[in-house]
A and B are shown apart, each in its own frame.
Chain A
Amino acid sequence: MYQYDSYDQAMVDTRVEEFRDQTRRRLEGKLTEAQFTPMRLKNGLYLQLHAYMLRVAVPYGTLNSRQMHALADIADKYDRGYGHFTTRQNIQYNWIKLEEAPDLLADLAKVEMHAIQTSGNCIRNISSDHFAGAAADELVDPRPYAELLRQWSSFHPEFNALPRKFKIAVIASDTDRAAMRLHDIGIQIVKNDAGELGTAFYVGGGMGRTPMIAPCIRDFVPLDQLVSYSEACLRVYNRYGRRDNKYKARIKILVHELGAEEYTRQVEEEFAHLLDQGIEPPIAELERIRTCFADPAFGDGARSVDRSDPDFALWVDRNTVRHKHDAYVSAVISLKPVGGIPGDASAAQMHLMAELAKEYSFDELRVMHTQNIVLPHVKIADLHALWTRLDADGLGAPNLDTIEDIIACPGLDYCSLANARSIPVAQKISERFAANGKTEALGELKLKISGCINACGHHHAGHIGILGVDRKGIENYQLLLGGSEAEDCSLGKITGPGFSEDGIVDAVETAADVYLRERAKGERFLDTYRRIGIEPFKEALYG
């Protein structure tokens, strides 16, 4: 993985000092809250319902064990012993004191981490495929490109006050595990007919109150023009993105209002101009970064497991994923125990995951946007030992991509923007399906819950989505069906009138039952929905 040199270290150290100074001026009353807000936001510090929340960047979701140990220590020292992994592959702490935030950032900087640009109207932490460097189907490891863009976008002087936040994802396989087309910019590493690597740019996707799937605006940008092209996309947005209405300020609205063709024309014009400005790092810089991501020393070993323990066999089937090396798999540690809070991990669990990464996965971990943790490179021969230790500490839930593997935003339990609670709904649904035993039969079923229209829980992109709304002061939940964030990207449709908190749990089960009744052989929930449409579901729900 990437290692800081003295320059990178100087940048994060400087940021800590800057924030210490800004915090001091705020506490001394020299800065108003209005002036301080964008500064703290650029350091990932939000004021929530009960306390400050700090969001720490995990660039493209990659961590080593030392960093995971440090995150656990921070949970103990500054929070209440927990961390919350998010849909942006980051980690959040919910109980932070402003006076202590600079010290927390200093602790992060010691392990090459930071909270730079994890919120605010700027280019956010860049996300990527959580199986990068391990996936059997990838063209190359996408992370060096994400790292190049991380550096380019950090403290970018021109894009200091964008109309709105800006999210970039980079992937390198046709299977999209990063919801690439639901980002402001989605970049896919591709090969052209001449066999050269380059990047396809998808611009103007997003969720929120107006979800949109990004159109491809260019199918090949050469690697030595990646920064210039990104800069052109951003400059057009910075100049012409709407600033009159916060809800229309994302780039998706600009691309939609101009039309993809006109937006592309303006980007191409700006790009042609920027190519002469000498802003592109040399390809040697990309190569330098790439050497940090060289494959670990994979060795040969067993290619199958002893399946005599059915619990272990189930976990292997559900939670391990094919690796580019036959003697290895990527193993997913579910942070979705039945009845638990999706994405939460205790300090002790984080320490354990760090130890296991060191022992079994070449010292690497990944945060998934589905709020789980991956050990990317586990020897098949080591799986039983790994599972035994995970299971002993409540981390062995065998539910990857099942209805129990729910994405949920923090909702009304923490978030000041929420209409409704998300976490208790997730807890009740996973309890319901664990009890009725339907999880296994349902197979792949992605369920996502947001506590308000801002869609942090990606409800539009769930096979089943749930959206919390406020109806006359009472929490109410709408049901959506048919969304997907993958390469077959689609947006879910609302079934009809909303449900109460208990009603929505019943409604999910009703929809699941329609699938079980109607499915053809080999169909997932999403496939059946696409074939039969929404009507049979509506009938069962409201009929």
Chain B
Amino acid sequence: MAEIIRFRDDEPVDHPAVTVDSFLDQSNANAVRVEPGDDARELIPHIGQLQLVEVNFPAFGDGRGYSSARILREAGYDGELRAVGDVLVDHVAYMRRCGFDAFEPDAALNPDDLQTALDRWPEIYQSAADARQPIWSKRHGAA
């Protein structure tokens, strides 16, 4: 199993995530896995009980998972949001901005390359699901 990179301190959930369909059927699970075709909004009524949402990227070119992540964060989900699958180092910074705080890439990421990628962008142009202050906000003196 690939290594999991986490940006949070709580204990990770130690059992496998279920599919969105089975989660919605037998809603006592606390870990769910969102596939690209799933509607993340279906989870919103249950986000209080969720501790782990895995968002699968079967191929890095399929960007639906970015929207799924942001939608969950916008709805107030504050459990672990983990990008799994074809997660490449050059996309991790974007994923962080969309609210992912854990990564389980198919192919291990080089730690130096990962740190470089995460430190790369000192500024951002738009607001997203992270707490970073966009350039427009800095320009107009908002704190």
**A positions within 8 Å CB-CB of B:** 5, 7-8, 10-11, 14, 17-18, 21-22, 25, 30, 35, 38-39, 121, 151-152, 154-162, 227, 235, 238-239, 243, 273, 277-279, 281-282, 284-285, 288
Contact = CB atoms under 8 A, between A and B. Distances in A.
B8 interface: no
Contacts of B60: 35, 38, 161
B98 A158 contact: yes
Given A38-B60, A152-B126, A158-B128, A5 B139 contact: yes
A459 B143 CA distance: 51
Contacts of B94: 155, 157-158, 160
A7 B139 contact: yes
Given A10-B122, A156-B126, 6 more contacts: A8-B135, A35-B88, A160-B66, A161-B91, A238-B63, A284-B140
Interface stretch (B10-18, B24-32, B45-53, B113-121): B113-121
Interface of B: 36, 60-64, 66-67, 70, 74, 88, 90-91, 93-95, 97-98, 110, 113, 116, 120-128, 134-140
A117 B95 CA distance: 18
A157 B62 contact: no
Contact of B74 (A156, A159, A277): A277
B33 to A, nearest CB: 17
A151 B67 contact: no
A212 B67 CA distance: 27
Given A157-B98, A158-B98, A281-B136, A151 B62 contact: no
Nearest to A11: B123
Which of B62, B134, B137 gathers most chain A CB within 10 Å?
A: B134
A7 B135 contact: yes
Contacts of B88: 35
Among A5, A156, A239, A277, the one with the most B-chain Cβ atoms within 10 Å of its Cβ is A239
A2 to B, nearest CB: 14
A241 B88 CA distance: 23
Specify the main secondary structure of chain A where it touches its partner: helix
Nearest to B96: A157
Contact of A159 (B61, B66, B91): B66
A10 B61 contact: no
Contacts of A22: 90
A417 B3 CA distance: 40
A119 to B, nearest CB: 14
Given A14-B122, A279-B127, A151 B136 contact: yes
Contacts of A14: 120-123
- The interface centre, meaning the residue of A14, A17, A243 with most chain B CB atoms within 10 A of its CB, is A243
Given A14-B121, A155-B125, A285 B140 contact: yes
Contacts of B140: 282, 284-285, 288
22 contacts: A7-B123, A11-B125, A21-B116, A30-B110, A155-B94, A155-B121, A155-B125, A156-B125, A157-B95, A157-B98, A157-B126, A158-B66, A158-B70, A159-B66, A160-B91, A161-B91, A227-B126, A235-B67, A238-B66, A277-B74, A277-B127, A281-B137
Nearest to A241: B64
Given A7-B135, A38-B60, A285-B140, A158 B125 contact: no
Contacts of B125: 11, 151-152, 154-156
A158 B138 CA distance: 21
Contact of A155 (B63, B70, B124, B138): B124
A239 B69 CA distance: 11
Contacts of A161: 60-63, 66, 91
B64 A238 contact: yes
A157 to B, nearest CB: 4
A493 B125 CA distance: 43
B138 A7 contact: yes
A474 to B, nearest CB: 35
A8 B136 CA distance: 11
Contacts of B122: 10, 14
A231 to B, nearest CB: 8
A270 to B, nearest CB: 9
A155 B124 CA distance: 8
Contacts of B127: 277-279
B120 A18 contact: yes
A162 B67 CA distance: 10
Contact of A25 (B70, B113, B124, B138): B113
